Amino acid sequence: MISSILCMEKLFSDYIKSAKLFEEQTPLLVAVSGGLDSVVLCYLLHKLAYSFQIAHCNFQLRNNESEQDHGFVQGLAEHLAVPFHVIRFQTKDFAQQQGLSVQEAARTLRYQWFEQTRRQHELSFVLTAHHATDNTETLLLNLVRGTGLSGLHGIPPQNGQIIRPLLPFSRAQLLAYAQEKGLQWREDSSNASDYYTRNKIRHHVWPVLASINPNLDQTIAQNIARFRAAENLQNVFIGQLKKKLLQSTLEGWRFAVAEAAALPEPAYVLYEILREWGFNATQVHNLLQAGQGQAGKQFFSPTHTLSLVDSYWLITPQITDWERVWIEENTAIVHSPMAVLHLRFLPEIPPEIPRLGVEEIWLDADKLRFPLLLRRWQIGDKLKPLGMAGRQKKVSDLLTDAKWSRPAKRQALVLCNNDDIVWVVGLRGSELYRVSAQTKRVLRIDIEYL
């Protein structure tokens, strides 16, 4: 009979290779608490001759226990003859300062430090010891709290530079390996408490479910694979609907009220579309209730505003403290809250030149004096718009004539050359800087809507 040691080591090696997680000589940083899971991960990597270093966070939350964990992990690194990195955090102070729970604070601190350490020592990935039982607990937690498909796909095997090579294995498998190999590890006393919601599930919900299905980890893993496949299909469908429904304009993203309401399962579909901008399911429900009958109705996410304008909804970034940016002659890209501008000088004058300056503007470069200034428009701003025979017009009147919504007006930008307005961005250029037969150099500026 093959021992659990040999079986586990082979399964672990096969999984890394089949999932193409990393190579034998890939330099790795392993997050080690001192508990069963991370200790087993270290011994598996060491047995299979992977190149790794150990990182330990001392959160100073359990007094002497935290110091004992620190000493244990340092001893483990010495025993395995691998480099050791450690940091002490004032976790409770950080949690209070940031308005986070202690658990959230510890998570934020450790992942920030892992990434800093990885970069500092030129390592490729950070490995954590999450396993199949963690995956099951996470799925159950998300179900209890409320979730869509995105909360049912479990913990991903890889997320950027974070890799979780133990995800196919249950805690029972890790325990069997450790016991047969005679390993030592630390037990976190807080795991015995029901203070944390995850522990309540582990102590009271999990045993009941496991009594119904002894292969619960395996069943949940199969379900997670199906949920992930369903989510991938949904994302394709939502992506197609986005292209059909949303129109990118200088005002922002807009979509028709009636067209949105006619979608299959409109509340669900719209939520999946709008959550990219931070809007929640309750807001989407209220949006559909509002329909077309409450012009001026607005919803706010942490980053964006959703406004009902005539027969469409408009998504715009919230007004920030962004005020202006100076543009040098060698500038190629300019970022603003409403759009990205791409600048380039043309070697010759094209035969056809767009005049109004909606999607782009073409300027007589020799009339410009750099640096140019990109800023928000102000009351009293005027220019001589293209196509108006040199007559002046207020920027406010131009915006009104173009039927820009109030949210869009607040976001409107102007490009200035000294005291002259060269362009109301995305709307109209100035007659004074238009390209003519006498022009020798052209500056072309294109808009990329956010």
Indicate which CATH number applies to the domain containing 99.
3.40.50.620
Choose the most confident range, by mean pLDDT, from 194-203, 236-245, 292-301: 236-245
Q: Which amino acid is at 314?
A: L
- pLDDT one-digit tens code per residue, 20-79: 999 989 999 999 999 999 999 999 999 999 999 999 999 998 888 999 999 999 999 999
The answer to whether position 88 is within a domain reads yes
Indicate which CATH number applies to the domain containing 299. Answer: 3.30.465
Say if residue 299 is in the same domain as residue 329.
no
DSSP 21: -
Half-sphere exposure of 266 (CA within 13 A, CB side): 17
pLDDT of residue 293: 62
Number of domains in the chain: 3
The answer to whether position 16 is within a domain reads yes
227 pLDDT more than 60 = yes
> Pick from 45, 42, 14, 40: which is nearest to 174 by CA?
40
pLDDT tier for residue 1 given thresholds of 50, 70 and 90: very low
Residue that finishes a domain, picked among 317, 342, 369: 317
Map tokens 């959160």 to a residue.
Answer: 59
pLDDT tier for residue 294 given thresholds of 50, 70 and 90: low
| Both tokens assigned to 132 | 């199949």
Indicate which CATH number applies to the domain containing 372. Answer: 3.50.40.10
**3-class DSSP assignment, residue 329:** coil
Say if residue 297 is in the same domain as residue 338.
no
9 pLDDT more than 50 = yes
Kindly state the average pLDDT of the residues 274-285.
Answer: 89
Say if residue 40 is in the same domain as residue 171.
yes
| Both tokens assigned to 3 | 């021992």
Q: Which amino acid is at 284?
A: V
Say if residue 106 is in the same domain as residue 13.
yes
Q: For residue 94, how far is the Cα from the chain centroid? A: 23
pLDDT of residue 390: 80
Could you please report the per-residue DSSP string of 349-380? --S----S-SSEEEEEGGG--SSEEEEE--TT
Query: Does 190 show up as a binding residue in the annotation?
Result: no
Q: Which amino acid is at 277?
A: W
Say if residue 155 is in the same domain as residue 43.
yes
Say if residue 160 is in the same domain as residue 141.
yes
- pLDDT one-digit tens code per residue, 235-273: 999 999 988 899 887 678 888 878 888 888 999 999 999
Return d(Cα 382, Cα 259) in angstroms, integer. Answer: 38
Calculate the alpha carbon distances from 383 to 354, 403, 447 in Å. Answer: 18, 18, 20
Say if residue 87 is in the same domain as residue 165.
yes
Return d(Cα 313, Cα 228) in angstroms, integer. Answer: 31
Say if residue 30 is in the same domain as residue 111.
yes
**3-class DSSP assignment, residue 23:** coil
The answer to whether position 139 is within a domain reads yes
The answer to whether position 201 is within a domain reads yes
80 pLDDT more than 60 = yes
The answer to whether position 239 is within a domain reads no
Residue that finishes a domain, picked among 276, 291, 317: 317
The answer to whether position 268 is within a domain reads yes
Return d(Cα 46, Cα 345) in angstroms, integer. Answer: 58
| Both tokens assigned to 42 | 């270290």
17 pLDDT more than 60 = yes
Mean pLDDT score of the chain: 88
CB 356 within 8 Å of CB 433: no
Map tokens 């599930």 to a residue.
Answer: 201
Say if residue 261 is in the same domain as residue 348.
no
> Pick from 287, 405, 395, 286: which is nearest to 338 by CA?
405
- pLDDT one-digit tens code per residue, 325-373: 899 998 999 988 778 899 999 877 777 766 566 778 999 999 999 999 9
Residue that finishes a domain, picked among 176, 207, 224: 224
Task: Give the strand order in the sheet containing 84-88.
Answer: 84-88, 52-58, 28-31, 125-127, 162-163, 158-159
DSSP 25: T
Say if residue 330 is in the same domain as residue 303.
no
Return d(Cα 238, Cα 225) in angstroms, integer. Answer: 20
Say if residue 332 is in the same domain as residue 297.
no
The answer to whether position 192 is within a domain reads yes
Return d(Cα 264, Cα 262) in angstroms, integer. Answer: 7
pLDDT of residue 116: 95
The burial class, CB within 10 Å (0-12 / 13-18 / 19+), for 429 is buried
- pLDDT one-digit tens code per residue, 363-417: 999 999 999 999 989 889 999 998 887 889 999 999 989 888 777 787 889 999 9
pLDDT of residue 320: 66
Kindly state the average pLDDT of the residues 134-148.
Answer: 88
**3-class DSSP assignment, residue 232:** helix
DSSP 190: G
Query: Does 211 show up as a binding residue in the annotation?
Result: no
Say if residue 269 is in the same domain as residue 413.
no
Q: Which amino acid is at 11?
A: L
Query: Does 38 show up as a binding residue in the annotation?
Result: yes
Query: Does 405 show up as a binding residue in the annotation?
Result: no
The answer to whether position 229 is within a domain reads no
| Both tokens assigned to 68 | 């004992």
pTM: 0.66
* Crossing angle (nearest 10°) for helices 171-181 and 4-18: 130
Full residue range of the structural domain in which residue 417 is found: 324-449
pLDDT tier for residue 321 given thresholds of 50, 70 and 90: low
